[in-house]
Amino acid sequence: MRQVRDHYQELRVRVAETAGLRRTFTVLFRAFDDGVAFRYDLPAQPNLGAFAISEELTEFAFADNPKTWWIPANRRAMDRFEFLYASSPLSMIDSVRSPLTMEMQSGPVVVLHEAHLEDYAAMDLARVGERTLRPALAPWADGVKVRGRTPFVTPWRTIQIADSPAELVPSVMGLNLNPPNRIADTRFIEPLKYDGIWWGMHAGKYTWPSGPKHGATTENAKRYIDFAAANGLRGTLVEGWNVGWSGDWIGTYGREFSFTRAYPDYDLRAVADYARSRGVQLILHNETAMGIGNYERQLDSAFELYKSLGVSSIKTGYVNDKTAEGHAHTGQFMVRHHRKVIETAAKYGITVNAHEPIMDTGERRTWPNMLSREGARGGEYNAGGPDGGNPPEHETILFFTRLLAGPMDYTPGVFDIRLATSSGRARMPGEPRVRTTLAKQLALYVVLYSPVQMAADIIESYEGQPAFQFVRDVAVDWDTTRVIDGKIGDYVVVARKAAARDEWFVGAITDENARDLSVPLDFLDAGTRYRAEFYADGPTAHWLDNPTEMIIRSEAVTATSTLRLQLAPGGGQAIRLRKIP
Amino acid sequence: MRQVRDHYQELRVRVAETAGLRRTFTVLFRAFDDGVAFRYDLPAQPNLGAFAISEELTEFAFADNPKTWWIPANRRAMDRFEFLYASSPLSMIDSVRSPLTMEMQSGPVVVLHEAHLEDYAAMDLARVGERTLRPALAPWADGVKVRGRTPFVTPWRTIQIADSPAELVPSVMGLNLNPPNRIADTRFIEPLKYDGIWWGMHAGKYTWPSGPKHGATTENAKRYIDFAAANGLRGTLVEGWNVGWSGDWIGTYGREFSFTRAYPDYDLRAVADYARSRGVQLILHNETAMGIGNYERQLDSAFELYKSLGVSSIKTGYVNDKTAEGHAHTGQFMVRHHRKVIETAAKYGITVNAHEPIMDTGERRTWPNMLSREGARGGEYNAGGPDGGNPPEHETILFFTRLLAGPMDYTPGVFDIRLATSSGRARMPGEPRVRTTLAKQLALYVVLYSPVQMAADIIESYEGQPAFQFVRDVAVDWDTTRVIDGKIGDYVVVARKAAARDEWFVGAITDENARDLSVPLDFLDAGTRYRAEFYADGPTAHWLDNPTEMIIRSEAVTATSTLRLQLAPGGGQAIRLRKIP
């Protein structure tokens, strides 16, 4: 793996200056070990004050026709990131999201993305020539792309380059292009695992609105808090606790949502007190349904309430195609909104895990309370929706695409793979279900990085499950990452060293094909013995008809050992490596 | 490999009959060994005479969300088949072409297509639900999809099913659903290999219009005829022989094209006489530029002239987005036109090889003079166009998609892989070039079936090339086909037995990855020794930087032998197997 250093070189070019009506802007380039970045600066000047951008004409022209892995942007009535990936030559795409990962025909891998998106539209990409892309900026409701006033800087456009997919790691370039941390006291920010009242709603056991199957009752929340406390999870998410979920909450842009008033069967203070007494963070859900005005009006009062209750974590949601006013998810209006939520949350000592968000552009360097987010098709699609759940290859693509932008709250760890317990009946062939083996669910904790990781299933599914020990043990914060091997859409093997702990974890996942993989353990400390604990697919495991067969065993290994991993179709393997004292 | 039998069962269902204004249509189902087919019949009836179809509401609803391999249909200003393939879950596609190949998550492979398209719009497919497709019929210029009069039958909609991609073979179902042969004397119909004045224009050595670099001169045509005669090729194609190529022939829909008048430097009769004297079929090119009226007005006079010259083969072309009148390539207007050309050609004893055609729907059973066609992105894209040539995986997808509909004139056999001789300079990195090894070019003759196969390169490129012996030897007509192994987009290995010859040929191709493949020769006659002649990638061959390294060798084998094939990145292997007397 290439060492990615964070030093850089700068080059400033003045690109436009006309004599008559003199207007100036400059392009600033920065070169990193693993790529380059540039942005446009519009300095304060007499002839340019307030302005509106109707199109950004940057072009990315490629020397050959790379294979791209993409999700569509600007679809009719589907303005979101929650798509399965398609792959095709660059010359066949239309409008796509960034980050965009491309395998050049000549070998290297190129990733286009952006950094430090603060007051601009997010960068979707549209093809404007056979091999040329241009930023496609989602508009305000009135069609304007970006409003600004000099002095003004655009986000950075970043081009990351690696020799092969396995050398693609989330670049520090994007983080370095954001300003340093602005939060003085960061003690409220804690990486953690969490359980939650959530999958039960997707699977059909519970409902968000209050009623006979209401998930977010005081009693049920305490049960989930107890489970978290008993199993070393440090957080419990509760969705459906607040009023507003009845009726057509999407069609009305969440008009009825209150972010302070709980349903009668959910005692907000009692649950918060109980969580604190058990040493568990309560994570409160704020679904906006893109009713941004309604949410922003309540932001301060809600966060003040949460702070008074000792609640320091929220999960936000933006389930809808556009805002109530017609603004796009990725336009400047929503970019400003997301920044406002992060900054307001920081003021009250609250961390944010955003679902249906805009893409990570490194703002968590400045605001480290921006812990994690969704921004892709997550595990929830395995429970519902008409199109059959995520195919086994899905996460092997995510690793090389979405995850390059930053951490993702994918919500792995579903043990009841056919949803028999969580929905009351096992899924029929073709119905959405988790297209995975149990071992792969464990491996995802290592493969898909997030400083907050959910044990996503209903807690009943973990009862009497020896494999749950891995969820208890696995780290969520890491010192070092090594991508051992991988091919986009086929498989990936990752080793990560836990932060401030002498432990390594290895995660390997495959698509619908079985695989034998070799993992040299040369990343371990030389001359030291480690206890390796394996959670492996059983010999006849298969995502479709035998998903839970698993072999759990351990053996002593050293840095000179090479592991042989046998992954089942749709399978994986999770390994914990601890120094033997 | 499953044996595909051609017996079938029929089921007729009357699906609509209303009492008030009584109108009737029926659905006819036929079941085959490898799939099912159905069509709609509108019998003659008092209340329904002439009609117009504005939409066909057939729906194909899938039990899970298969991985599909697709090219787009109904693109803005790109109404064609010449696309690279994309792959994605079904739930991500928009409008696509048929045949459409789908790998179900539960295992089987399903191919949607149609048969016996005679007087209807061709069946593109549009997604209308998460997992539901509907025929998308390209309209007449006035928006109507189909015009008809009872009694009327639609084309068959066919659903082919196999257990795995390697069991997908071009089905006989489509042929069986077409009426039997209508040509009394079929002696003019001959499978053959051919050279031609064609690649030189794509590469830049020659021009279509007359001028200093004109390709279709009398002298040059005779040179190509001589080469064909000397090398056992039985045909020579000449493009650019007829007037009309000057100026904007696409923008004017080929208004100036004459299909009888030759350029002054091309003596039509002399060349035709010379070809006949050398035992070579002259194949005359008819480019229409979608000026259908202009072409149809000349059809009889042109074909009568060709017949009088002893010319029995044409290659047609339809380079444009729409007809001069605004009709779509795949609409009913063009379906009728293509049928008219085939039937008229049959009358004059002429075979047709159509480029930019509609898709094969089995009409060659009825009109076996419809020899082959393009209908996908062929080898010509390796010479020009801005998007870099076909990627190495392209033909490994074509085999499992386009080729399931019927034969394709892909034009393999480019030996000057970097286009140094044919264009006057070797291509720069990133420029279009053939992304292949030389051995793969040979293997394509076996893998991609067509009863007419071109030795596509300029003839100078074959001089002193030992590998050209395979092109001389390989058959174009086959008794038996065995798909040994394959994975869509990755690789494919095919064995075929030559028609009326005791010889087998094996072709293996791979994508950008090197592969080791095992080929058991159990298809050979037991107890018989065969001489195997191998044309294999050399040990350091690579499509990008070492494309021509090749090992040619032979050894004796029997039906109990297993060959080990080592394919280079972007490589292949071609094998001829002859009985040892």
Task: Report pLDDT for A1.
Answer: 30
Q: How far apart, in Å, are the Cα atoms of A144 and each of A3, A126, A335? A: 42, 17, 14
| Catalytic position from the list B380, B395, B503, B533 | B380
Residue A487: count of CB within 10 angstroms of its CB = 17
Task: Report pLDDT for A430.
Answer: 66
Contacts with B, A 100-129, CB within 8 Å: 105-107, 129
Interface test with A, best of B70, B91, B513, B545 (most A CBs within 10 A): B91
Residues 6+ apart with CB under 8 A from B253: B289, B290, B291, B294, B320, B323, B324
- Say if B130 is an interface residue toward chain A (CB within 8 Å): yes
A236-283 tens-digit pLDDT: 999 999 999 989 999 999 999 999 999 999 999 999 999 999 999 999
Task: Report pLDDT for B2.
Answer: 35
A147-158 tens-digit pLDDT: 999 999 999 999
**How much of chain B exceeds pLDDT 90, in percent?**
81
Q: What is the arithmetic mean of pLDDT over B373-395?
A: 89
CA-to-CA distance for A162 and A168, rounded, in angstroms?
A: 6
**How much of chain A exceeds pLDDT 90, in percent?**
81
Interface test with B, best of A65, A382, A395, A434 (most B CBs within 10 A): A65
Chain A residue numbers with beta carbons less than 8 Å from the beta carbon of B67 are 391
CA-to-CA distance for A547 and A568, rounded, in angstroms?
A: 9
pLDDT bracket for residue A25 (50, 70, 90): confident
Task: Report pLDDT for A192.
Answer: 97
Mean pLDDT of chain A: 93
DSSP assignment, residue B460?
A: G
Q: What is the arithmetic mean of pLDDT over A436-459?
A: 98
Task: Report pLDDT for A7.
Answer: 43
- Say if A270 is an interface residue toward chain B (CB within 8 Å): no
Task: Report pLDDT for A6.
Answer: 43
Q: Six-digit token pair at A505?
A: 């974890």
CB within 8 Å: A106 and B429:
yes
> The complex's ipTM?
0.78
Number of H helices, E strands in chain B: 10, 30
Task: Report pLDDT for B166.
Answer: 87
CA-to-CA distance for A581 and B18, rounded, in angstroms?
A: 85
Q: How far apart, in Å, are the Cα atoms of B6 and each of B31, B114, B283? A: 10, 17, 34
Residue A18 pLDDT > 90: no
Residue A94 pLDDT > 80: yes
**The dihedral of CA B358, B362, B366, B369: what is its sign?**
positive
pLDDT bracket for residue B33 (50, 70, 90): confident
Interface test with A, best of B78, B82, B105 (most A CBs within 10 A): B105
CB within 8 Å: A87 and B87:
yes
Helix A332-347 to helix A292-308 angle (10° resolution) is: 10
Task: Report pLDDT for A429.
Answer: 67
Q: Where in chain A is the domain with CATH 3.20.20.70?
A: 192-375
A501-557 tens-digit pLDDT: 999 999 999 999 999 999 999 999 999 999 999 999 999 999 999 999 999 999 999
Task: Report pLDDT for B77.
Answer: 60
Residue A299: count of CB within 10 angstroms of its CB = 18
Pick the range with the lowest mean pLDDT from A275-284, B86-95, B394-403: B86-95
pLDDT bracket for residue A130 (50, 70, 90): confident
| Catalytic position from the list A239, A287, A380, A533 | A380
Residue B34 pLDDT > 90: no
B96-144 tens-digit pLDDT: 999 999 999 888 999 999 999 999 999 999 999 888 999 999 999 888 9
Task: Report pLDDT for B474.
Answer: 98
Residue A467: count of CB within 10 angstroms of its CB = 18
Q: How far apart, in Å, are the Cα atoms of B120 and each of A77, B56, B140? A: 32, 11, 11
Residue B52 pLDDT > 70: yes
Residue B75 pLDDT > 80: no
Mean pLDDT of chain B: 93
Task: Report pLDDT for B335.
Answer: 98
Can you list the positions of beta strands (E) in B356-409?
370-373
CATH topology of domain B192-375: TIM Barrel (3.20.20)
Beta-ladder partners of A453: A193
B262-307 tens-digit pLDDT: 999 999 999 999 999 999 999 999 999 999 999 999 999 999 999 9
Q: What is the arithmetic mean of pLDDT over B52-66?
A: 89
Pick the range with the lowest mean pLDDT from A31-40, A257-266, B367-376: A31-40
Chain A residue numbers with beta carbons less than 8 Å from the beta carbon of B430 are 62-64, 106
Give backbone dihedrals phi and psi of A477, rounded to 5 degrees, phi first: -125, 135
Q: Where in chain A is the domain with CATH 2.70.98.10?
A: 8-176
Task: Report pLDDT for B352.
Answer: 98
CA-to-CA distance for B110 and B164, rounded, in angstroms?
A: 9
Q: Six-digit token pair at B59?
A: 């729906």
Task: Report pLDDT for A495.
Answer: 97
Chain A residue numbers with beta carbons less than 8 Å from the beta carbon of B486 are none
Residue A11 pLDDT > 70: no
Contacts with A, B 368-397, CB within 8 Å: 385-389, 391
Residue B5 pLDDT > 50: no
Residue A426: count of CB within 10 angstroms of its CB = 13
CB within 8 Å: B105 and A544:
yes
Give backbone dihedrals phi and psi of B101, rounded to 5 degrees, phi first: -100, 130
Q: Looking at CA atoms only, how far is residue A378 from chain B in angstroms?
A: 15
Q: Six-digit token pair at B251?
A: 């923008």
Domain B414-428+435-447+464-581 has CATH 3.40.50.10470: no
pLDDT bracket for residue A352 (50, 70, 90): very high
Q: What is the arithmetic mean of pLDDT over A3-8?
A: 42
Per-residue burial over A348-380, b if 16 or more Cβ lie within 10 Å, else e, is bbbbbbbbbbbbbbbbbbbbbbbbbbbbbbbbb
Task: Report pLDDT for A48.
Answer: 86
Residue B21 pLDDT > 90: no
| Residue from A380, A348, A435 nearest A237 by CA | A380
B478-525 tens-digit pLDDT: 999 999 999 999 999 999 999 989 999 999 999 999 999 999 999 999
Q: Where in chain A is the domain with CATH 2.60.40.1180?
A: 414-428+435-447+464-581
Q: Six-digit token pair at A8?
A: 């850089």
Task: Report pLDDT for B155.
Answer: 97
H or E segment and range at residue A26:
strand A24-32
C-alpha R_g of chain A: 24
CA-to-CA distance for A442 and A467, rounded, in angstroms?
A: 8
Per-residue burial over A158-181, b if 16 or more Cβ lie within 10 Å, else e, is bbbbbeebbbbbbbbbbbbbbeee
Candidate ranges A7-11, A175-179, B423-427; pick with highest mean pLDDT: A175-179
B555 is catalytic: no
Residue A102 pLDDT > 60: yes
- Say if B63 is an interface residue toward chain A (CB within 8 Å): yes
B519-564 tens-digit pLDDT: 999 999 999 999 999 999 999 999 999 999 999 999 999 999 999 9
Q: Please give the single-letter amino acid code of residue A62.
A: F
Residue A15 pLDDT > 60: no
Q: What is the CATH number of domain B8-176?
A: 2.70.98.10
A294-318 tens-digit pLDDT: 999 999 999 999 999 999 999 999 9
Q: How many residues does chain A have?
A: 581
| DSSP assignments along B529-570, one per residue | -EEEEEEEE-TT-BTTTBTT-EEEEEEEE-TT-EEEEEEPTT
CA-to-CA distance for B199 and B7, rounded, in angstroms?
A: 43
